[in-house]
Amino acid sequence: MLTIRHPQIAALPTDPEQDAAFVRWAVGHLRRSCPRQTAALGDDELRRRAEAGLRRARRAGFSEPELVADFLELMVRQAPDFDEHPAVRRALRRAVPRRLILLSLCAAVDADAWTEIRAASDPSAWET
């Protein structure tokens, strides 16, 4: 069986028009799903964060729009660099379908780790 690794997925060519459409959709989605976290952000800032989230999700091996959206929501709700915490990194490396990783992430990472993630959050992660 052919296995495509996360760095290979991130290196796949992207379609700028599809990316722009996703980002436009993501801005509205984040406004609806994360109103408290996005209330103080202007549309340009939220668009910039959606673009950064798209890039970061791809580097983590997520390419399907719904999975990228879930990843982006975690960035907004928890921390833009949540994927750097050791517990999350272990979960992301699991050899299971990417969809299952995101669905099980909250169970795989305990409440104390999520508290650490939020406390150590680096806002500059939105720049990557």
Q: Express each pLDDT in 31-82 by its tens digit.
A: 999 999 999 999 999 999 999 999 999 999 998 999 999 999 999 999 999 9
Res 105 pLDDT > 70 = yes
The domains of the chain are located at 19-121
Q: What percent of the chain has pLDDT over 70?
A: 89
Report the predicted TM-score, pTM, of the whole model to 2 decimal places.
0.83
Q: Directed axis angle between helix 43-59 and helix 65-77, to 10°?
A: 120
Residue pair 50/59 in contact (Cβ under 8 Å)? The answer is no
CA dihedral 90, 81, 9, 73 (to 10 degrees): 100
Other beta carbons within 10 Å of 4: 11
To 10 degrees, the CA torsion angle through 85, 63, 67, 105? -30
